[in-house]
Amino acid sequence: MTHKPTKQRISKIMGILRRTYPDVKTALRHGDPVELLVATILSAQCTDKRVNEVTASLFKKLRTAKDFANVSLADLEDMIRPTGFYRNKAKSIKACCEELVKKHAGKVPNSMETLVQLPGIGRKTANVILGNAFGIPGIVVDTHVKRVSQRLGLTTEKDPVKIEFDLMDLIPSKDWIAFSHQMIWHGRALCNARKPKCTECPLLELCEYGRRPI
């Protein structure tokens, strides 16, 4: 049995998250939308810390979509190898940047419909780009947001897209970007997968998962 996500309860959750994680932003270091796109693809099943270590040198060698489109697959694989799954990631990055050069003059588009048509770009990556590069509201559903949302009873869905739409119905659109960041940081800091720090959690009184019998 989970709490029904009433407006009052949602408001309390948002207030606590806002106070606990004020002014949080993406941890992925980037200088422009192309770099953010590449970094987000690299972040799949990899920590942001490791991605930042890799992109610190990567973005000195490859700066534009054209650079990524023209680099050899083997060279790109070598550069991003520490992020894991580097073969698939290299293919996605190269194919995506080739498409950017071919159809968008090397620029990252700022619409969901166009972004998700690019190779390797799903709704999660698109929302990261739209929110952080263009300030366009969207809810990012990564593993942290999925886990925290389920534990708080904000959704019973397992599919990230269905979770995204559940959260969009509950959270005012003006708060989508900040809420995504706060949920991600909360998932990292306290509500982690294996050993959540429930007794330290400021959301404990609103979370049946945290107050369940052990």
Give catalytic residue positions: 124, 142
Q: Check: CB of residue 112 under 8 Å from CB of residue 123.
A: yes
Calpha distance 35→42 (Å, rounded): 11
Size of the chain in residues: 214
How far is residue 42's CA from residue 23's CA, in Å, rounded to a whole number? 24
**What is the separation, in whole angstroms, between the first and last Cα of the chain?**
16
The sign of the torsion formed by the CA atoms of 201, 148, 28, 15 equals negative
Reported as half-sphere exposure (CB side, CA atoms, 13 A), residue 62 has a value of 25
In whole angstroms, give the CA distance from residue 8 to residue 31.
38
Q: In sequence order, which residues have a C-beta less than 8 Å from that of residue 184 and are 6 or more positions away? A: 24, 140, 142, 144, 145
Distance of CA 54 to the CA centre of its chain: 18
